[in-house]
Amino acid sequence: MSDALLEAKNITMQFGGLKAVDSLSLAVYPGQLAGLIGPNGAGKTTVFNMLTGVYQPTSGQVFFKGTSVAGLRPFQISHLGVTRTFQNIRLFKGLTVLENVLIASHQHVKYGMLDSFFQTRKFQDNEKGMRQRAMEILNIFGLSDKAHENSASLPYGEQRKLEIVRALATQPEIILLDEPAAGMNHSETHHLMELIAQIRKDFNLTILLIEHDMKLVMGICENIFVLDHGVKIEEGSPSLIQNSQKVIEAYLGVEDDL
Amino acid sequence: MQSFKKPILSLMALLILGLGLNFGFNAFIQLQAKFIIINMILAMSLNLVNGYTGQFSLGHAGFMAIGAYVAAYLAMNWNFLPPELSILSYLLFVLVGGLVAAFAGFLVGKPSLRLRGDYLAIVTLGFSEIIRVALLNMDFLGGARGLAGIPGLNSFYLDFVFSSLWLVFCFFALWRLIKSSHGRGLLAVKEDEIAAEAMGIDTAFMKVKAFVVSSFFAGVAGGLYAYFVQFISPGSFTFLHSVNVVIMVVLGGMGSMTGSLVAAAIITILPEALRPLQEITGVDLRMVIYSLSLIILMILRPKGLFGELELPEVWRKYVRRSA
């Protein structure tokens, strides 16, 4: 069990009197594509926020590669190789598409402020390399010809894609996608599924995603965690989840005897 | 050496401009020219914090005061070079003044940059008032009487060369910082702190970094002020002075370096240019017209003169298109 890439042990998040997440344990293994599902308000995004350090769990701990990330700030967790996208898109709206991606690779920058002042060779090489890598990733997502457009002017679906591109630019080992297909139509969702499968292979990634689109989740996830009212009610392969009585009850309610 | 080409060219252009000012104009206009340069340095450095990093600081006069007093005190007590060479020692003194101000910026910024918006504005405002009141009570710095008889460079052209050097240094240091990955980090902090953190940007460190660099150049501007006016007192660095710099930044456009330059020139010249009007009408409508023109400008261009664009972009967008 200890070879999990990202593992949560009994994490609880309490907001005042409300237990948003109640002693949840989950483990994602290297190379896996895992899903986190559950009805609205089940606490899925709260779990993401705890995994990435935005919230510190009230109790319990998160482990990355076996070491605890308790007390680390979000940027430090990002440096370890855990990154995420946001449910309500959080692009840097005033900046161009390319700048959005470049900011994400700042953590790998080797030059200091003096290098940029003297425009040293190190500065120029670094900048060039960053731009090239950014354009490569943008190219995979078909956004390279919009690199110099304002990110807020992109259509909704492309903004969602740009969030993924930006997350990839941090060179993560695991990426947490928060509802990547929200607001997308049928064919866009299908296209996104293929993209996710492709980047997983190309970048050797582990992925944990939250999604409401069951077709997407059942189609690509290998392991699924089901959350309801902050408690994990089921875990397993798509077929197991589809036939689980507990999951069906959580989504559709319990049938009353008439 | 390629990297020094543009700074040297701009410095040379400024020196030629200075030569023209030296022979063609009276002392009053020459003094205004020096003030414009000081205000340009102040506006650009404050723009780094208020415009690019999106943190609202109202304490720029405090850092300016620190730089001014350090530079003045050193020049009055430690000048080790003969007067003819004092420009060299003054370079060092202004640098020291800037560094002390930067250190003060670090001390203030470290705890207070957790705050945002209005709260940060109040803390920085409080800090600059503390500096002022502390200076009022320091007898070895003249207290309320201030420091008089600061040895200056005693020549307009030397003053102008000296301040041009710092102006060019300030402009290119900030410009290249902003165009680097470190500068994009600052922009990310302004745009969305939570997303910036998730992408691996240490937002707290970024803010302190911007604050320290900004304070350094405020200190430099203070040092220049001390040498040009040759008299400083705590009254020179009041809250109003900070507000004035904020006006320049907002008028020029938050996040536009060249906008700050233009606005600094306008804000310095406008009240003076309106003086003849007072002679004609006999009533002092100067400040009324000054504030009215600011109001009208902000209504017409709510994002400032240049918005977030720089001069070449503004040129392409508005001038060339209409031609």
Judged by phi (left if over 0) then psi (alpha if -120 to 50, else beta), residue A62 lies in: beta
Q: Is the residue at A86 inside a domain?
A: no
Q: Which pLDDT score, from 0 to 100, does residue A258 have?
A: 61
In this prediction, residues B178-193 reach a mean pLDDT of: 94
**Gap between the Cα atoms of B191 and B198, Å rounded:** 13
Cβ atoms within 10 Å, residue B7? 17
Interface of A to B at Cβ within 8 Å reads: 52-54, 73-75, 78-79, 83-84, 86, 90-95, 99, 102-107, 109, 111-113, 115-120, 123, 126-127, 130, 166-167, 169-170
- Asked, for residue A215, whether it belongs to a domain, the answer is yes
Q: What's the pLDDT band for B39 if we cut at 50, 70, 90?
A: very high
* CA atoms of B155 and B73, how far apart (whole Å): 20
Number of domains in chain A: 2
Q: Which of A143, A170, A197 is the last residue of a domain?
A: A170
A106 belongs to a structural domain: yes
Which pLDDT score is estimated for A2?
A: 55
pLDDT (0 to 100) of residue B92: 94
Provide ipTM, 2 decimals.
0.90
Whether residue B195 and residue A94 make contact (CB cut-off 8 A), yes or no, is: no
Percent of chain B with pLDDT strictly greater than 90: 64
Cβ atoms within 10 Å, residue A117 = 18
Q: Are B40 and B220 in contact (CB under 8 A)?
A: no
Contacts of A112 in chain B (CB under 8 A): 182
- CA dist A6 and B208 (Å) reads 32
Q: What is the pLDDT of residues B242-254, one digit of tens each?
A: 999 999 999 999 9
Nearest-neighbour CA in chain A from B136: distance (Å): 37
pTM of the model: 0.91
Q: Least CB-CB distance to B188: which of A103, A109, A112?
A: A103
B195 reaches A (C-beta below 8 A): yes
Q: Whole-angstrom Cα distance, residue A37 to residue B195? A: 23
Do A97 and A208 belong to one domain? no
Cβ–Cβ below 8 Å for B177 and A119: no
CA distances from A197 to A104, A185, A190, A210, B273 (A): 22, 18, 11, 15, 67
Residue B1: what pLDDT?
59
Q: Over the stretch A122-140, which tens digit does the pLDDT of each residue have?
A: 999 999 999 999 999 999 9
B201 neighbourhood in chain A, CB within 8 Å: 75, 103, 106-107
For B223-279, strand residue ranges (E) read 231-232
Q: For residues A120 and A47, state if they share a domain.
A: no
Question: What pLDDT shows up at residue B322?
Answer: 64
Does B187 contact A103 at a Cβ distance shorter than 8 Å? yes
> Which CATH number characterizes residue A231's domain?
3.40.50.300
Pairwise CA distance, residues A166 & A199, whole Å: 13
Identify the H or E element spanning B156: helix B156-178
Whole-angstrom Cα distance, residue B252 to residue B301? 10
pLDDT at position A1? 47
Which whole number is the average pLDDT over B36-54? 95
Collect all residues of chain A within an 8 Å Cβ-Cβ radius of residue B199: 75, 78, 83, 103-104, 106-107, 166-167, 169-170
**Average pLDDT of span B262-276:** 90
Which residue's entry shows tokens 């980047």?
A199
Distance from the Cα of A113 to chain B's closest Cα (Å) equals 6
pLDDT at B208 over 60: yes
- Write out chain B residues lying below 8 Å of A99, CB-based: 184, 187
Q: What is the pLDDT of residues A177-221, one digit of tens each?
A: 999 988 888 888 999 989 999 999 999 999 999 998 888 899 899
Is residue A87 one of the residues assigned to a domain? no
Let me know if residue A46 belongs to a domain.
yes
* Domain final residue pick, A119, A137, A170: A170
**Distance in angstroms (rounded) separating the CA atoms of residues B266 and A166:** 41
Q: Residue A165 and residue A102: Cα distance in Å, rounded?
A: 10
Interface of B with A in 35-94 (CB under 8 A): none
Confidence tier at B323 by pLDDT (50, 70, 90)? low
β pairing state of A174-178 and A206-210: parallel
User: In chain A, which stretches have pLDDT less than 70?
Assistant: 1-2, 257-258
SS (H, E, C) B71-114: HHHHHHHCCCCCHHHHHHHHHHHHHHHHHHHHHHHHHHHHHHCC
Stretch B44-48: mean pLDDT: 96
Whether A107 and B200 lie within 8 Å, measured CB to CB: yes
Shortest Cα distance, chain A CAs vs residue B2, angstroms: 9
Would you list the domain boundaries of chain B? 2-237
Flag whether A34 is in a domain: yes
Q: Phi-psi category of B291—alpha, beta or left, where left has phi over 0 and alpha has psi -120 to 50?
A: alpha
Looking at the structure, tell me whether residues A185 and A250 fall in a common domain. yes
Q: Which of these three, A151, A170, A189, is where a domain ends?
A: A170
Tell me whether B1 touches chain A (CB under 8 Å).
no
Optimal mutation site among B6, B179, B180, interface A, most CBs of chain A within 10 A = B180
Helix, strand, or coil (residue A192): helix
* Residue A230, in any domain of the structure: yes
Listed in sequence order, the DSSP H helices in A203-236 are: 214-220
d(CA B57, CA B211): 9
Q: What is the mean pLDDT of chain B?
A: 90
Domain of residue A24 covers 1-81+172-258
A130 and A77 co-located in one domain: no
The mean-pLDDT minimum among A98-107, A142-151, B174-183, B274-283 falls in B274-283
**A130 contacts B200? CB cut-off 8 A:** no
Positive or negative, the CA dihedral A161, A167, A170, A172 is negative
- Tokens, residue B40: 């340009």
Whether residues A188 and A76 share a domain: the answer is yes
